[in-house]
Chains A and B, each alone.
Chain A
């Protein structure tokens, strides 16, 4: 099994040597305009916006996993869900968003954990609309939940991911909860979403 520190070194190494980079503000402003457009298209129905973001993320996840596997050179399956968590936080997030969220709050059965984001480039410059609803309903970075769901599905893990707090909502942390539903048997095709 890959240790936490080894995963961390791997993530750093890939980020430094194998990743083509762009100015972060190009990415951040593009994400911002996507979310703002969704809010407009769905007339500030934030619950629907969350769904749309999750869906976009899922589509991204399905494609991103290949990129991730190629870059990280880890053809071997993770030994268990705890190792998966390490790889997501220290390699996955590192090489795509140059951040390393903290893994915490494991359940005793090792099937659920949290990612706590001390930094979240997607939320740079962002303040939610002051309409009395957005801070209760919109999960601005919800695309990330979809990305994890899509990517893990491609490596035979069905997970559920959602945010439970966000500094943009006035919470003290930004925390995503990830639960393993089941390992998908190889012979069964992945469920259509």
Chain B
């Protein structure tokens, strides 16, 4: 337990923000206002590619770049987790309690909100050595559709940004995981989904332990 300060002012009060004379603040804006609002896809593409270009200048390799994109997505996952839950009707406003319901939430609610459609598939690792691994498969990630990756960076998967968002959702929901994006589309002609990406979720051991414990109690 950390130290709890008393309820009295601590002496490090905020300097205080100024607000317009109409008094409007973020607290006056209904959370649903932009729920269904739209912007042009190219605006997203321009911003996203600037983000990648900028990140590229501050790293030395592709792994570091992907890590950075992941980091930039992470806080968004945390925010969206609460935002999407609070927008659910009270009755279905339930927190995910196990890995499957968490994955369903990501595949359906998160994908639907961000990309206008669900992710294509969920899979559990069939390898008995890695029971902690799950996969979310997107045949055509939006972030890859609009970004032309320079040749020298051909291994880069910009979906690392989305992986970061997913990781933020998992961490926030108390299912700490490492999430990475992997291109599996291949480059042969006639390939149906050249941008196909697997998001690999590797949950921390405590998640599986907890899951086993809860299952044993039911």
Chain A residues close to B by CB (< 8 Å): 19-34, 36-37, 41, 52, 56, 59-60, 63-64, 67, 95-98, 121, 124-128, 130-132, 135, 143, 167, 169-172
Contacts and interface: CB of A to CB of B under 8 A. Distances in A.
B133 to A, nearest CB: 27
B79 A27 contact: no
B39 A121 contact: yes
B38 A21 contact: yes
Contacts of B47: 27, 30-31, 34, 60, 143
Interface stretch (B69-77, B94-102, B122-130, B170-178): B69-77
Given A22-B44, A96-B42, 12 more contacts: A19-B41, A19-B42, A24-B34, A25-B35, A25-B113, A29-B80, A30-B48, A33-B76, A96-B43, A97-B40, A126-B26, A130-B15
A124 B24 CA distance: 12
A128 B17 contact: yes
A38 B42 CA distance: 22
A97 B50 contact: no
B42 A67 contact: yes
A21 B39 contact: yes
B58 interface: yes
Contact of B51 (A34, A95, A127): A34
A26 B51 CA distance: 14
A45 to B, nearest CB: 15
A80 to B, nearest CB: 27
Interface in B102-127: 113-116
Nearest to B68: A37
A37 B17 contact: no
- The A interface, classified by DSSP as helix, strand, loop or mixed, is helix
B93 interface: no
B119 to A, nearest CB: 15
Interface residues of B, number: 44
A95 B15 CA distance: 39
A28 B75 CA distance: 13
A27 B17 CA distance: 26
25 contacts: A20-B40, A20-B42, A21-B41, A25-B113, A26-B114, A26-B115, A30-B51, A31-B47, A33-B51, A33-B73, A33-B75, A33-B76, A59-B50, A95-B40, A96-B40, A98-B38, A121-B34, A125-B26, A127-B25, A130-B16, A130-B17, A132-B15, A167-B20, A170-B17, A171-B20
Contacts of A25: 34-35, 37, 113-114
A163 to B, nearest CB: 15
A168 to B, nearest CB: 9
A26 B17 contact: no
A24 B39 contact: yes
B176 to A, nearest CB: 21
Most chain A beta carbons < 10 A, residue from B38, B41, B53, B142: B38
A29 B34 CA distance: 12
A128 B40 CA distance: 25
Given A37-B72, A132-B15, A27 B43 contact: yes
B6 interface: no
B22 interface: yes
Interface string B1-44: 00000000000001111111110111001000111111111111
Contacts of B15: 130-132
Contact of A22 (B35, B53, B142): B142
